[in-house]
Amino acid sequence: MRLLDGAEELAFREEVRDFLRDLPPEITSAQPFGHEHPRATRELWTRTLARRGWLVPHWTRAWGGRNWPPMFHYILAQELCAHDCPEIDRIGTDLVGPILQLVGSQAQQQRYLPFILDGREFWCQGFSEAGAGSDLALVRTAARREGDYYRVNGRKLWTTQAHEADMMFALVKVNAGESLQQGHTFLLIDMHADGVTVRPIITIDGRHHINEVALQDVRVPLANRVGEEGKGWSYARSILGAERMGAAGIPHTRRDLAHLRELACRMRQDGRLSSEEPLFRHRLAKLEIEVIALEFLLLRVLHATPGPEREALGCVLKLRGTQAYQRVSDLMMQVAGMRATALVQEGTPSYEPSVAAAYLFRRSATIAGGTSEIQRNMIAALALQM
């Protein structure tokens, strides 16, 4: 058992910090809490990271991957997050990229991977539908073969960032005569194609993150099918573990603790700073300890050999990580009080509009990416054989 950072890890962390210190101002200008950087900045950031070789270190070597020890991936994620860097397109880098390298055709890799690497194309994930959330067996978006194309009809729901996306990684079912094949098929769908309509869904935070995507007689080339018909789920399984760990949001929670402390050092109740309130300090301490435990669990999972035990631990990360992620914004709400709930102009001094928005939107953290209830089902099956 070796638990201390070696010289290489310490050196790498310094290297990342030096890189972040030298970034141009248009990338580093921090957004107010809860806001995303604009698309142009995200694209610039993607290219900056790619040039450094740090955009997709987990990809295959042929496409820019590095042979890093798990600790380097962890350090990079932690430092980028702590620095409030723009969000890269994770659907592209963590879902589409890896799946195309695993089972995609040469042509698909040549066409799509470079555009992920230079930030030119952003992706969305079209899985859920009105009738199919946790149970994706109920997906009804249908693809009917017609010559060199599929004719695709259906509606995807809760699609995050579809309004910004150029491409959709879609989970569909191919028609088999009058009925649908039992297995899933993955299609790469051009969001600018005829028949694709994106309708915003405003969430309870009053903002636009997610959408409904209607697909009406959309023509998708057969060449845009990833792998074989009906085998989609077997490809997805290998990627889902990584998605689950990302969805746990642990570097984000660590970063948000800093925001929370900063807020607590500003906000007063009855003249006393929140940071000096014993009850608040107690709650903050409990949360900080939970985050330490989560970080060490993440490290353990990153170093573990693949298998049911590792998968179960990934589910624990998702289950408890999302709860901690919510809890930080919950404490921010308590600290900010009514200052958080006033709907005033952004940037109005002494009001904290984004705190409520973050709290409200983060209720989805325990729902998206596999609900907490599903995570518990999986833990019971994988770790406890119940």
Partner 1 sequence: MEFSLNTEQMSLRESVARYCRERCGFDARKRSAASAVPANGSHWKDFARYGWLGAALPEDCGGAGGTAVENAIVMEEFGRSLVLEPFLHCAVLPGQLVHAAANDGQRRDLLPPLLSGDLALAVVLDAADAAPTGRFKAVRGAGTSGTAYILNGGGALVVAGSRADKLIVPACTSEGLTLFLVDALATGVQRSAFRTIDGVEAADIRLEDVGVAQSAVLGNIGGAELALRSALEHIIVAMCAEAVGAMAGLLETTRDYLRQRRQYGAALSSYQALQHRMADMFAELELSRSMLHAALQSMLGSEPDARRRIVSAAKAYVGDCGKSLGESAIQLHGAVGMADENKVGHYFRRLLVMAGSLGGGDYHLERFALAG
CB of 319 to partner 1, least distance (A): 6
Q: What is the chain's Cα-based Rg?
A: 22
One residue of 200, 281, 344, 363 binding partner 1 per CB under 8 A: 281
CB of 258 to partner 1, least distance (A): 12
Smallest CA-to-CA distance from 372 within 247, 241, 210 is with: 247
How many chain residues are in contact with partner 1, going by CB under 8 A?
42
Closer to partner 1 by Cβ: residue 120 or 286: 286
| Contact set for partner 1, span 155-184 (CB under 8 A) | none
One residue of 156, 225, 320, 327 binding partner 1 per CB under 8 A: 320
Asked if 379 is part of the footprint of partner 1 (rule: CB under 8 A), the reply reads: yes
* Cβ-proximal residues to 268 (8 Å cutoff; 6+ apart), any chain: 274
Asked if 340 is part of the footprint of partner 1 (rule: CB under 8 A), the reply reads: no
The helix or strand, by DSSP H or E, that contains position 375, with its residue range, turns out to be helix 372-382
Rounded-to-integer distance, Cα 255 and Cα 332, Å: 13
One residue of 304, 360, 367, 368 binding partner 1 per CB under 8 A: 304
Let me know: does 239 contact 226? Beta carbons within 8 Å: no
Asked if 1 is part of the footprint of partner 1 (rule: CB under 8 A), the reply reads: yes
**Token pair of 9 as six digits:** 């890890």
CB of 220 to partner 1, least distance (A): 38
| 124-132, 266-274, 280-288, 336-344 -> range binding partner 1 (CB under 8 A) | 280-288
Rounded-to-integer distance, Cα 103 and Cα 101, Å: 6
| 59-67, 76-84, 291-299, 357-365 -> range binding partner 1 (CB under 8 A) | 291-299
One residue of 303, 308, 342, 363 binding partner 1 per CB under 8 A: 303
- Using CA atoms, how far residue 347 sits from 4, 133, 205, 267, 269, in Å, is 43, 37, 17, 16, 21
Q: What SS3 state is found at 130?
A: coil
One residue of 118, 300, 308, 348 binding partner 1 per CB under 8 A: 300
CB of 254 to partner 1, least distance (A): 14
| 148-156, 178-186, 233-241, 285-293 -> range binding partner 1 (CB under 8 A) | 285-293
Q: 53 burial class (0-12, 13-18, 19+ CB within 10 angstroms)?
A: exposed
Let me know: does 274 contact 332? Beta carbons within 8 Å: no
Asked if 296 is part of the footprint of partner 1 (rule: CB under 8 A), the reply reads: yes
**Token pair of 43 as six digits:** 């694209």
Closer to partner 1 by Cβ: residue 60 or 323: 323
| 181-189, 201-209, 243-251, 299-307 -> range binding partner 1 (CB under 8 A) | 299-307
Let me know: does 44 contact 50? Beta carbons within 8 Å: no
One residue of 5, 14, 118, 146 binding partner 1 per CB under 8 A: 5
Smallest CA-to-CA distance from 128 within 374, 385, 379, 368 is with: 368
Asked if 230 is part of the footprint of partner 1 (rule: CB under 8 A), the reply reads: no
Q: Which amino acid is at 313?
A: L
Asked if 319 is part of the footprint of partner 1 (rule: CB under 8 A), the reply reads: yes
Neighbour tally for 98: CB within 10 Å: 22
The helix or strand, by DSSP H or E, that contains position 46, with its residue range, turns out to be helix 39-52
Asked if 367 is part of the footprint of partner 1 (rule: CB under 8 A), the reply reads: no
Asked if 344 is part of the footprint of partner 1 (rule: CB under 8 A), the reply reads: no
Q: From its phi and psi, is residue 21 left (phi > 0), alpha (psi between -120 and 50) or beta?
A: alpha
Strand partners, 189: 168
Closer to partner 1 by Cβ: residue 44 or 257: 257
One residue of 124, 226, 313, 332 binding partner 1 per CB under 8 A: 313
DSSP character at residue 140: -
Asked if 288 is part of the footprint of partner 1 (rule: CB under 8 A), the reply reads: yes
Residues in contact with partner 1, shown as a per-residue x/- string from 44 to 83 under the rule CB under 8 A: -------------------------xxx------------
* Cβ-proximal residues to 47 (8 Å cutoff; 6+ apart), any chain: 118, 119
Positions that interact with partner 1 (CB under 8 A): 1-5, 9, 69-71, 281-282, 284-286, 288-290, 292-297, 299-300, 303-304, 312-313, 316, 319-320, 373, 375-377, 379-380, 383-386
